Amino acid sequence: MRSTILFLTVLGCGAAETAPAAPSPAPSPPAAPSCAPSTDLAAVSALVGEWHGDGWVQMGPGARERFVQTEIVRCAVGGEALLVEGLGRDAARPDRIVHQALAVIAFDRTARTPRIRAYSAGRPAVDSDLTPGEGAGELVWGMDVPGGNRVRFRLQVTGDRWREVGEISIQGGPWRQFLEMNLRRVAAGGGAS
């Protein structure tokens, strides 16, 4: 179940199946030309920049696993899309990558909503709407997982702080938190204001 639920989390997921990694740092993405996200992407434009922080994940009754996370969000195709690259490392063993993902956020003109398509470590891609949440500036996205379960991620950017919470509903039951990530913007990029 762990690999089914935590197969990604861009915009906030910080963990997945662990895999050994070479100790060399991940290459930086190419510099994006300065641009501003299109007005259709106004709801997600606060994500643009480079973010660093930490978080935890807890599946079942075991101890929380801590990780260090980097998210790089930049404009693409003249502001019509955002690219989100996430890299999580084990907090105790930084040479061990615990999560690596890529997502594309673009506006779906037919559905008239921003959508995310996320990829992570050889698992199936996920497509989801990004919808307003209950809090000011909160965005929510999620997916169905086997067994009649549902996973959702609630993310909120306030100034230079990004907080994201992952929750699961088992067969329609109450939401239970399994992940939290808290990041700080360390650099603006690709049109952040």
Q: Is residue 146 part of a domain?
A: yes
Q: Is residue 148 part of a domain?
A: yes
CA distance 132 to 30: 31
CATH assignment of the domain containing 138: 2.40.128.20
How is residue 172 written in tokens? Answer: 């329609």
Number of compact structural domains in the chain? 1
**Is a pLDDT exceeding 50 seen at residue 32?**
no
CA distance 125 to 102: 10
Q: Is residue 168 part of a domain?
A: yes
CA atoms within 13 A on the CB side of 159: 2
**Is a pLDDT exceeding 60 seen at residue 4?**
no
Q: Is residue 25 part of a domain?
A: no
Question: Token pair 């907090």 is at which residue?
Answer: 91
| Structure confidence at residue 39 (pLDDT) | 82
**Is a pLDDT exceeding 80 seen at residue 154?**
yes
pTM: 0.77
Mean pLDDT of the chain: 82
| Structure confidence at residue 35 (pLDDT) | 63
Confidence grade of residue 137 (pLDDT, cut at 50, 70, 90): confident
pLDDT tens for 62-83 read: 889 999 999 999 999 988 999 9
Q: Is residue 42 part of a domain?
A: yes
Confidence grade of residue 15 (pLDDT, cut at 50, 70, 90): very low
Q: Is residue 178 part of a domain?
A: yes
CA atoms within 13 A on the CB side of 121: 24
Q: What's the average model confidence in pLDDT over 138-167?
A: 94
Q: Is residue 23 part of a domain?
A: no
Q: Is residue 26 part of a domain?
A: no
Spatial contact of 12 and 164, defined as CB atoms under 8 Å apart: yes
Range of 125's domain?
A: 2-18+31-187
How is residue 12 written in tokens? Answer: 């906030």
**Beta-bridge partner residues of 108:** 113
**Is a pLDDT exceeding 90 seen at residue 7?**
no
